[in-house]
Amino acid sequence: MSTKTYNIRTAGQANIPVLGLGTWQSTEQDCVDVVSQALQMGYEHIDTAQAYGNEKQVGEGIKQSGVARDKFFLTTKIFPDDMKFQPEKLVAAAKRSLEDLDTDYVDLLLLHWPDDRVPLSETIPALCELQKQGLTRHIGVSNFNITDIIEAKKYADVPIVVNQVEFHPFIKQQTLQEFLNNHHILLEAYSPLARGGVFENDTIKEIADKHNVTPAQISLAWILSNKDRVAIPKTANPDHLQGNLDAINVQLSAEELEQIGRLARSDGRKIEHPDYSPVWDD
C-alpha cells in the first residue's frame, strides 16, 4: 500500500510530520539512495546530524529525489565537541551543516546532547538567533532531562519545540513525557524499534500477527498512538522503508496499547551511556 503522510504533530509554530527517516549509520551511496527513495515514496521528514558524518550524502539524496525543499521537514543536530556550543562556534557549525546539506535552511536544529562546559545562558540565545536569521525554522534539544529543559527555557525567546530522546516500548519516559506535554514540547522518539529489540518480543510479535503487519509497524503505531510524539525509525533497506511509513495507518485497540505499555522496564535503555549523558528522569 502506498501512503502519503499528511499526518503532522504541532508544537509552537512547528508542524512536524509524524514519521521521519532516521539516518544514523546510513553511509555513502546507501545513504544517498535511501534518502532519495524515501522522499520519492512520500516520506516528508528526514533526520540527520553532524555526528553521523552523512550530511553531504543526505543532501545528495535530497537532490537526487527531485522533491522540492519546501515539501519535507529536515532536521540536523549540532554535536557538542570542540566547545561548539559557544555562540560563535554554534553559528559556524550551523552554517557548515547547511553547506553540507546543500540547503539554505533546516526545519529543525537540535543541540544533540547537553554540554555542561558551556552555560545554556550562552548557547540558547545563540540557537534562538539562528532561527531569527532564518538558518533554521525551529529549534529543539536532544537527550535533555527535565532540569536541562527548565534551564534552557529560561533563555529561549522562541519556542523549543522538540526533545529528541530514546523511546520505544521497553523504556520508561513517563515523567519526561508528562513534563513535555505540559510545556507543549513534542517527544521525538529515537531508536523507536529499540534497535531491533522489538522484533524479538513475544507480545509485540503476537499483536503483529493478529494485525497481519510487522513488529516494526506495531512499535511505531504504539509510539504514535500518543498525539504528543513523532518517531524517526532508521532504515537503510529500501524493503523496510514503505512498511515503516505505513505504520501510521495501523490502529491498535486500547487493550493492545496497554499490553505494550506494560513492557517498559527500568533497564530498558538501548543506547550506551556516553560520559556526557544527563541523569535521566526515569
Ligand X SMILES: NC(=O)c1ccc[n+]([C@@H]2O[C@H](COP(=O)([O-])OP(=O)(O)OC[C@H]3O[C@@H](n4cnc5c(N)ncnc54)[C@H](OP(=O)(O)O)[C@@H]3O)[C@@H](O)[C@H]2O)c1
Cα 205 from Cα 175, distance rounded (Å): 27
When binding is defined by CB under 6 A, the residue of 92, 116, 117, 196 that contacts ligand X is 196
| Strand 8-11 with 14-17, pairing | antiparallel
When binding is defined by CB under 6 A, the residue of 36, 244, 252, 269 that contacts ligand X is 244
DSSP state of 135: S
Question: CB of 282 within 8 A of CB of 178?
Answer: no
For residue 57, state whether it binds ligand X (rule: CB under 6 A).
no
Near ligand X in 134-163, by CB under 6 A: 142-143
Near ligand X in 104-133, by CB under 6 A: 112
Marked catalytic residue, from 43, 52, 105, 190? 52
When the beta carbons of 103 and 164 are compared against ligand X, the nearer one is 164
- Residue of closest CB approach to ligand X: 22
Q: Which residues, at least 6 apart from 202, have a Cβ–Cβ distance to it below 8 Å?
A: none
Cα 93 from Cα 99, distance rounded (Å): 10
When the beta carbons of 31 and 118 are compared against ligand X, the nearer one is 31
For 189, the 3-state DSSP assignment is strand
Question: CB of 82 within 8 A of CB of 101?
Answer: no
Cα 154 from Cα 168, distance rounded (Å): 29
When the beta carbons of 65 and 142 are compared against ligand X, the nearer one is 142
When the beta carbons of 47 and 148 are compared against ligand X, the nearer one is 47
For residue 76, state whether it binds ligand X (rule: CB under 6 A).
no
Near ligand X in 221-240, by CB under 6 A: 232-237, 240
Q: Name the one residue in this structure whose C-alpha cell is 558524518.
A: 53
Q: Is 105 a catalytic residue?
A: no
When binding is defined by CB under 6 A, the residue of 141, 187, 216, 245 that contacts ligand X is 216
Question: CB of 14 within 8 A of CB of 40?
Answer: no
Which positions touch ligand X (CB under 6 A)?
Answer: 22-24, 47, 112, 142-143, 164, 190-196, 214, 216, 232-237, 240, 243-244, 271
Active site residues: 52
